[in-house]
Structure formats: structure tokens, C-alpha cells
Amino acid sequence: MSASLYGSTAAQFVRGLHNLSALLEKGAAWAKENGKSEESVLNTRLAEDMYPLVRQVQIVSDMSKGAVARLAGVTPPSMEDTETTFAELHARIAKTISFIESVNSEQLDGDDSRPITVKGRNAEHHFTAHTYVMSFAIPNFYFHVTTAYNILRHLGVKLGKSDFIGEIK
């Protein structure tokens, strides 16, 4: 028996978003302690062709709310991608969590073979619900959470594996 789509998405996304918020709290504290501007921290990137920290967080939000919305057949809340402070990123994460928690498991679970279409920059991608979750939504979500974590680590923020994983319940 495979995991439910709700357990594979909404539950994981909420946990990951809470953990990301905690990472950002540590990043904000580190910036203040080290005399770094929020702008410089939020605009740090690991490589020239990668997005900066602020965009990594926005993508985590978009990926999680978009996945839940697609699976539930609802419209996700619109967010402008204008965040320039840690406080604004925390507010975005909270809004994303609130949306995800407004969707119940019955809206996500059911036919794992139902079609899901994602419009990319250059093409449409067609999946079954199960394949979309397992090969696209979850990997993308964790790629961008991990990249945010790595940007903060690269700057010198004291983070470890337990910060990424969060509280084990």
C-alpha cells in the first residue's frame, strides 16, 4: 500500500515549512549578531546561476501551496514575490501553512492516477497525481529547502542536521 497523497504532501510540507521558518529565525539572529544586513543575507546565493535565499523561500512556498492546490482542485492564494525582510518571509510561510491546513485529506486523497498538468516556462508536464507528488513536487520542495539551508550554512549560520529535520515527534 502506498502512502496517502495527503501524508506525502500536506503533512510533509507543513513540517518542512515550520522547519524552514526556524532556519530563517536563526539566519536573522546570526545577521543581527554579525552586523549583516537582511538584504545581504536574503540576496546571498550559492552560485551565480542559482537563486538567492529569498527566492528559494518563495519557491518552497509556491511549490507546496501549488501542489496541494493542484491535487485538491482549488486555487492557491496568490503571493506577489516582493518579500525583502525575514519578517515578510515568515509571514509568507505562515500564509502558506494556513492555506495548506485549510485543505483536508479527503480533498487530496483518492485516485492516484488522476491527471495533473504543470505548466513550465517552456512546456507542459503531464503526470498522474502519484507521479507528480513523488517525482516532481516533493523533490522540488526539498531541493529548495535544502538550498536555503545551505545558503545559511555557507554564510556561517550555526545549523546542523537537527535544524533541517526539526523536532521528531
What range defines the domain where residue 21 resides? 5-103+115-164
* Structural domain contains residue 70: yes
Residue 129 placed within a domain? yes
Q: How many domains does the structure of the chain reveal?
A: 1
- CATH number of the domain within which 60 lies: 1.20.120.450
The answer as to whether 95 is a domain residue is yes
CB atoms within 10 A of CB 141: 24
d(CA 17, CA 93): 6
Whether 110 is in a domain gets the answer no
Contact assessment for residue 163 and residue 22, using Cβ atoms and an 8 Å cutoff: yes
Is position 109 within any domain?
A: no
The reported pLDDT for the residue numbered 93 is: 98
- What grid cell was written down for 11? 503533512
Does residue 96 belong to any structural domain of this protein?
Answer: yes
Does a structural domain hold residue 56? yes
C-alpha dihedral sign at 94, 54, 139, 159: negative
Query: Do the domain assignments include residue 139?
Result: yes
Per-run averaged pLDDT (10 residues), the chain, 169 residues: 78 96 98 98 97 98 96 94 98 98 88 88 92 95 98 97 90
pTM for the structure as a whole: 0.95
pLDDT at 108: 83
